[in-house]
Amino acid sequence: MQVEQDAIPHSDPIALFEVWFAEARASEPNDANAMALATATPDGRPSVRMVLLKEHGAEGFVFYTNAESRKGDEIRANPHAALLFHWKSLGRQIRLEGSLEEVSAELADAYFASRHPDSRLGSAASDQSRPLDARATYVARVEALREDYPNGAVPRPAHWTGFRLSPERIEFWMGREHRLHERRLFVRSGDGWSSSLLYP
């Protein structure tokens, strides 16, 4: 059997993420920025859901949410999380683990203002993760806000904010034939990164 060369180089993992993310945006049919976010309670009970990556770079990876939701409660109590991108069209995954910090109010305001008016109304009307007696109740709350803010310019609720994950570990996974996959793990080391291959 011919031995394949390593396709995931030891390099700057943030720059490598940017390359893979750009390729995913070009090939993935829907929401290339969708990522699974795993959080946990202080006693280690995990939960996971899909969120959207909105900003990324050397400082970290940003998503926005209702901080009074289940994930918000877990983040406040245990500010560590894991992210997973899975791009089926490319046969690639990226896993990130690290600590979370809240973004500034100015950054949250700017992103909230950039959203579609209906999305702003929907977020302001939602008690995310809380029990809801009927969908009609939620829709009525949205419409009541629309009457007060017909152009959708509802102010950002104080509990609607963003969090930035500062990665301490980043793993790149590439699918190979016959499940002979390739994995490279980057671990933050001081101001830089060390890396090693992992068995699939």
Task: Indicate if 95 belongs to the active site.
Answer: no
Helix (H) or strand (E) holding 160, with range, is: strand 160-174
Selecting among 45, 169, 179, 183, the annotated active-site residue is: 179
Catalytic residues: 179
